Structure 1
C-alpha cells in the first residue's frame, strides 16, 4: 500500500488544524498580530529592488500562472490519467478526490473569512484573499506527488531531486503571490497549513477505503 496506516496522523491533523483555526480567527477579527506578520513579511518580498529586476518579475508571474487553481486541477488530472494507465487506479481516484476536496474546503473558508486582497492586486486576481487558492492547490499537488507518485520511482536520487523541486516550487509560489500583491503573507502560510491538515484526512480516508474499493470489479486488479 502506497499510503500506510500511521498512528501519528491524527496528531498531525490536530496540530495543523489548531494552527490554521488560530490564523483564520486572527484574520477574521483583524488581530494586530496578524496584520503585523503581514506587514513584516510583505516588506521582504515587495521592495523596490525586486520590482526593478525584470527577469524576477517574469519568473514570479510565470510561477503564479502555472500554479493557478484551474491548472492545479489539470496537473492532477494528468497525474491521475498516468496512474490509471499504469494500473494505479485507486491512487488515481484518490488524487482527484483530494484536490477537489481541498478546493471545496478552501472556497468555503474564503467565503467565511471574506478577507479583501491587497489594494495593489491585479484585476485578474479577484475574489477573497484568505487562504491563497494557488498555494493551497499547489501544496495538494505536491502532496499527491509525494505520496503516490514519487514512491513509484525506482531511483532514490531521482526521488530526492523531485522532492526538493516540489519544496522549492511551493516556496517560490508563496513568494510570488505576495510579490504580485495577490495575497497577504498570512494567506499563503495558512493555505499551506490547511492543505497539510486536509492531506492528513485524505491519507486516513485512503487507508480506510482502498481495501474496500478493491472489492469492486473496476478496482480489483489495481495496485494501491
Structure 2
C-alpha cells in the first residue's frame, strides 16, 4: 500500500506540475520546444511510422479488449474487467486532460496526426498496456519479459518524438497519467477483491 501511495503522489505531482507549466509558463514551453528540436534530429522513416500505427490509441483498445476477452473466456472475470477498467479509466482521463489543456502539436508534425498534443495518446496507451501486461504476466516470465516490455515502450516513446508528434513534456505527462490511473484502478481492485 505504501508503494501505491508513493506512485500516486509522484505521478500526480508530475502531472499537475506539467499541466500548470504548459498552461501558464511561456519559459517552460520555450524550453520544451528547444528540447524537442534537440531530440528530434533523425529522419522520419517507415519503422517509426509502423511503431506508431501498431500503437494507435484505437488499436490499443482492440488489444485491451482481446486480452480481457481471453481472461473472461478463461473464467477470470475480475481480471478481465480490471483490464478493461484500467485502460478505460486511463483513456477517459487522457481525453479530458487533452481537451482541458488544448495544447497544439509541434509545427513539424505529420499531417495525419490530429488532435491535441498533451498528453500523448500513443504513449498513454503503450504505458498502460505495458503495466497491465507486466501485472498479469510477471510471475510467468520474470525479468526477460520486463526487458521486452521496456524496449517496446521505449520504441513507442521514440516514435512519438521522432515523428515530431509530441513535445517531451507530452510524453512525460502521458507516463505520469498512466501510472496515476493504473495505480488508482489497481488500488480499487485490490480493495474490492483481494482483501
TM class, shorter-chain normalised?
over 0.9
5+ unaligned residues in a row in structure 2: which ranges?
none
Residue 30 of structure 1 deviates from its aligned partner by: 3.6
Distance 1:211 1:12, change over 3 A: closer
What is residue 132 of structure 2 aligned with on the other side?
144
Give SS of 1:8's match: helix
1:63 corresponds to which residue? 51
Equivalent residue number for residue 81 of structure 1: 69
Aligned-partner Cα distance in 1 for 2:10–2:172: 15
Separation in 2 of the partners of 1:21 and 1:211?
30
Q: Under a length normalisation based on structure 1, what TM-score does the superposition of the two structures give?
A: 0.81
User: Equivalences for 1:1-224 in 2 at 5 Å?
Assistant: 6-44=1-39, 46-47=40-41, 50-51=42-43, 57-151=45-139, 153=140, 158-210=141-193
Gap regions ≥5 residues in structure 1: 1-5, 213-224
Give the TM-score taking structure 2 as reference length: 0.93
Q: Distance in 1 between matches of 2:185 and 2:136?
A: 12
The structure where helix makes up a greater share of residues is: 2
Q: Which has the higher mean CA deviation after the structures are superposed, 131-140 or 85-94?
A: 85-94
Q: Is the 8 A contact 1:42 1:185 kept in 2?
A: no
CA distance 1:159–1:38, shift in 2 (3 Å): farther
Aligned partner of residue 123 in structure 1, secondary structure: coil
Larger radius of gyration: 1
Instruction: Report the Cα distance in structure 1 between the residues aligned to 2:131 and 2:33, rounded to whole angstroms.
Output: 26
Please give the alpha-carbon distance, in whole angstroms, between the structure 1 residues aligned to 2:73 and 2:114: 37
